[in-house]
C-alpha cells in the first residue's frame, strides 16, 4: 500500500502558491491605485496644426474639446476631420499611457502569461 500524497504539492509548491497569491494581491492593489491615477489624468490630443484639441482622462473618458476660432473658418467638413484627428491622437496617447503604466505595475513580478 502506498502512502497518501495529499494533493501532490510538496512544501516547495505551497511556498510558490503563497508567493503567487502575494503577487496577485500586489497587482490588485496597484491596479486599483492605477485606476484612480488614470481617472485624474488629462491627456491631450490635437490635430496637426493645433487648432483642435481633445482632452481625455487617462482611462479614455472624454473631458473636453477646445476649438480655435480659426478652425471654424475652415468649414464644417474640415472641422470634422480636425476633430477626428485630435480624437485619434488623444486616444493613441491614452492607450500608450495605460499600456506603459500596466507594464510598470507588473514588471518584476514574474507573473506567468504577462
Beta-carbon-side half-sphere exposure of residue 85 (alpha carbons within 13 Å): 14
Q: What is the span of the domain harbouring residue 51? A: 12-106
The reply to whether 43 falls in a domain is yes
Q: 48 — phi, psi (to 5°)?
A: -55, -40
List per-block mean pLDDT (blocks of 10 residues) for the chain, which spans 114 residues: 52 76 81 89 96 95 96 96 97 94 76 52
List C-alpha distances in Å: 33 to 41, 62, 87.
Answer: 13, 20, 26
The reply to whether 112 falls in a domain is no
The reply to whether 111 falls in a domain is no
The reply to whether 58 falls in a domain is yes
The reply to whether 21 falls in a domain is yes
Global pTM reads: 0.71
The reply to whether 94 falls in a domain is yes
The packing angle between helices 76-106 and 11-40, to 10°, is 150
Whether 105 contacts 27, CB under 8 Å: yes
Q: Classify the C-alpha dihedral 48-54-55-56 as positive or negative.
A: negative
Query: What pLDDT sits at residue 8?
Result: 55
The reply to whether 5 falls in a domain is no
Number of independent structural domains in the chain = 1
Q: What is the CATH classification number for the domain harbouring 41?
A: 3.30.1310.10
Whether 69 contacts 22, CB under 8 Å: no
Query: What pLDDT sits at residue 114?
Result: 47
The reply to whether 17 falls in a domain is yes
Amino acid at each position: 500500500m502506498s502512502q497518501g500524497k495529499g494533493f501532490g504539492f510538496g512544501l516547495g509548491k505551497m511556498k510558490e502558491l503563497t508567493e503567487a497569491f502575494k503577487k496577485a494581491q500586489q497587482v490588485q492593489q496597484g491596479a486599483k491605485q492605477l485606476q484612480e491615477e488614470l481617472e485624474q489624468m488629462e491627456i491631450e490630443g490635437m490635430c496637426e496644426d493645433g487648432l483642435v484639441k481633445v482632452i481625455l482622462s487617462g482611462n479614455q473618458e472624454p473631458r473636453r474639446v477646445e476649438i480655435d476660432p480659426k478652425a471654424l473658418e475652415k468649414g464644417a467638413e474640415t472641422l470634422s476631420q480636425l476633430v477626428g484627428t485630435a480624437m485619434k491622437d488623444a486616444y493613441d496617447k491614452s492607450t500608450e499611457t495605460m499600456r506603459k503604466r500596466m507594464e510598470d505595475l507588473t514588471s518584476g513580478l514574474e507573473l506567468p502569461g504577462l
